Amino acid sequence: MIMNPGAIEEGGETARSVVTAFKDRPMVLALIIMNFALIGFVYYGGVATNTQRRESLRMYVEQMREIEQLLARCVVPEKP
């Protein structure tokens, strides 16, 4: 794979312009960081909720099995 040597300079120039823009407008950088933090928080909340939901479902199924076993042992009296 042959790389264009001008591409590296262009990438460096772009990086410098981005850093300069963030220096001139720190609020933009703060908003970007806050957005990433919000995305991380929402992801963490979703994972925690999913784990809790999975555990609740497991407990529900386990309880239903126990009830099934108890009901299976019941003796139904015959009608006279």
In a domain, 47, yes or no: yes
d(CA 26, CA 32): 10
Residue burial 13-42, b: 16+ Cβ < 10 Å; e: rest: eeeeeeeeeeeeeeeeeeeeeeeeeeeeee
* Residue 44 covered by a domain: yes
Q: How confident is the model at residue 37 (pLDDT cuts 50, 70, 90)?
A: very high
Q: Is the dihedral of CA 46, 48, 54, 59 positive or negative?
A: negative
Q: Rounding to the nearest 10 degrees, give the CA dihedral for residues 24, 27, 22, 40.
A: 180
What pLDDT score does 24 carry? 86
Residue 78 in domain: no
The predicted pLDDT at position 1 comes to: 52
Residue 20 is predicted with a pLDDT of 87
Average pLDDT across the chain, whole number: 89
Expressed as residue numbers, the domain containing 18 is 7-72
In a domain, 1, yes or no: no
pLDDT(64) > 80: yes
**30-38 contact pairs (CB < 8 A, 24+):** none
Q: Is residue 80 part of a domain?
A: no
How many folded domains does the chain comprise? 1
Residue 25: pLDDT band by 50, 70, 90 thresholds? confident
Mean pLDDT value across residues 24-48:
94
Residue 77 maps to a domain: no
